[in-house]
Structure 1
Amino acid sequence: MLELTDLCYTYPDGTEALRHINLRIAEGEKVALVGPNGAGKSTLLLHLNGVLRCRTGAITVAGHPIADESIRQVRAQVGMVFQDPDDQLFSPTVFDDVAFGPLHMGLDEQDVRGRVLRALDQVGMSGFERRMPHHMSLGQRKRVAIATVLSMSPGVLALDEPSAGLDPRARRGLIDLLRSLPQAMVVSTHDMRMVAEVFPRTVVLAQGQVAFDGPSEAILGDGELLERYGLERP
């Protein structure tokens, strides 16, 4: 579903953010992306739907390489959910936010409405269509942000720190939601308890490189590895 081959990226100021990243993610596979701050996790996520473009290497999504001529198809396939939902929610109502993507796909009104209602139902936000996002809790806004990408029917979800800032009840609801969704996922997180519950596979980034890629239980049970990469035991 998603393949990164020898991906390298250097920021304009000369900071080397990603070095020779090679990853393959299958359809429906849930992968946690962990590591210390500055390891390159968010930079990697921003490459998955072309927000950033690799200087060296290649990325393919469902067999389509990320390029100018394919960027619309790629962004329809890879739904990016930012850490702060306010970076994603900008319309007067929840309905308008979730409808934004399908409308720009050129779908008719009935199809758009159907997609919005299905996406809100998936994230447990049915009945909130006419609510104003900035009047809702952080947990509710995060769910609506996920709905904005689900309405595009993506094959891959890329989420940046989805549980950050949530209270225990909202965090539990988010975990249950992520476990229920069928899409492939790449999720950057420091929440190792969420990793243990949701993600069978973990990729550790350190200094822009893949330091570990394997079963989550292998790293979660290895105190030395956790300490080496600054990760908490769940």
Structure 2
Amino acid sequence: MPVVHPEQTARPAHPPLPPALVEIDDLRYSYPDGQPALLGVSLRIAPGEKVALVGPNGAGKSTLLLHLNGILGGPESPLRVCGLPPTKKNLPVIRGLVGLVFQNPDDQLFSPTVLEDVAFGPLHMGLAEAEVRRRAALALAQVGMAGFEERLPHHLSIGQKKRIAIATVLAMSAELLALDEPTAGLDPRGRRQLIDLLRALPQTLLVSTHDMALVRDIFPRTIIMDGGRVVADGATGELLRDAGLLAAHGLEVP
């Protein structure tokens, strides 16, 4: 009888997972009043992925986004960005890597001019003035707002404000853009312009939204959250064909 060596019968090794830009393992969080918000969220996002985050109000989507750059959570949070835990030492780096864009751009824009808003982050990174201006000019060009440098942010339309808010994080050379309800409040033209912008951006995207048509049109992967948990995570086309799954979690087929 021939001798069978163990290595000949061993199962083939699984291919290695791609490197994770974000990795979360069993994240739990309750607000100070004791209200639980995240009940064991685990996920990983690879560089270059475009991921939609959907679910009903109160599902925990915004709370999750706020953990990504340390606004919520603490140094013991089971979260890694480019392998870095959110310790006090690492937070400046993580906040440069993760660009968080709020639903209301007025929460993000506070300077007298557009240029000052977009330059604020790079300036406080200690970069030279020439580099700050280069980054600001590039970011404004990326969002189609070149020429608006001296405009007053509060005089702009909401669609223009949202693009400026995205420019503020692009100027930081963020690897991941985490956007909360980017199309909320936009008219059809503003929505289309924002969709075209998001489609063209090369950065990794994690976008919390109720706009299921946006999800269908841009994002290959969708994560559904409900009750502080991830209830589904997979190919967008497959999930959107499951009308029962969507209905069970307060979502509509686009």
Same fold (TM over 0.5): yes
**Structure 2: which 5+ residue stretches go unaligned?**
1-20
Q: 1:180 aligns with which of 168, 183, 200?
A: 200
User: How much does 1:59 deviate?
Assistant: 0.7
Runs of 4+ off more than 3 Å = 54-57
Q: Distance in 2 between matches of 1:158 and 1:207?
A: 20
Match for residue 150 of structure 1? 170
- Give the structure-1-normalised TM-score: 0.98
Percent identity, please: 62
Q: 2:249 aligns with which of 211, 222, 229?
A: 229
Match for residue 79 of structure 2? 59
Q: Contact conserved, 1:9 with 1:56, CA < 8 A, in 2?
A: no
Q: Distance in 2 between matches of 1:181 and 1:42?
A: 22
User: How much does 1:226 deviate?
Assistant: 1.1
Q: Distance in 2 between matches of 1:163 and 1:26?
A: 24
Q: What is the 5 A alignment of 1:107-186?
A: 107-186=127-206
Q: 1:93 aligns with which of 113, 116, 121?
A: 113
User: How much does 1:65 deviate?
Assistant: 1.0
Q: Contact conserved, 1:6 with 1:56, CA < 8 A, in 2?
A: no
Q: Deviations over 1:191-211 (max 9, x none)?
A: 000000111100011100000
Q: Distance in 1 between matches of 2:238 and 2:249?
A: 14
Q: Deviations over 1:110-141 (max 9, x none)?
A: 00000000000000000000000000100000
**Measured at CA, do residues 35 and 56 of structure 1 come closer, stay the same or move farther in structure 2, by a change above 3 Å?**
farther
Matched, 1:15 2:48: no
Matched, 1:213 2:238: no
Letter in 1 for 2:78: A
**Number of paired residues?**
234
- Give the structure-2-normalised TM-score: 0.91
Q: Contact conserved, 2:74 with 2:86, CA < 8 A, in 1?
A: no
Matched, 1:194 2:217: no
Q: Distance in 2 between matches of 1:34 and 1:81?
A: 16
**Measured at CA, do residues 231 and 194 of structure 1 come closer, stay the same or move farther in structure 2, by a change above 3 Å?**
same
User: How much does 1:17 deviate?
Assistant: 0.3
User: How much does 1:188 deviate?
Assistant: 0.5
User: How much does 1:148 deviate?
Assistant: 0.3
Q: 1:105 aligns with which of 114, 125, 149?
A: 125
Bigger mean CA deviation after superposition, 49-58 or 142-151: 49-58
Q: Distance in 1 between matches of 2:77 and 2:122?
A: 31
Letter in 2 for 1:31: V
Q: 1:40 aligns with which of 60, 71, 79?
A: 60
User: How much does 1:232 deviate?
Assistant: 1.4
Q: Contact conserved, 1:4 with 1:59, CA < 8 A, in 2?
A: yes
CA RMSD of aligned residues (A): 1.0
Larger Rg: 2
**Structure 1: which 5+ residue stretches go unaligned?**
none
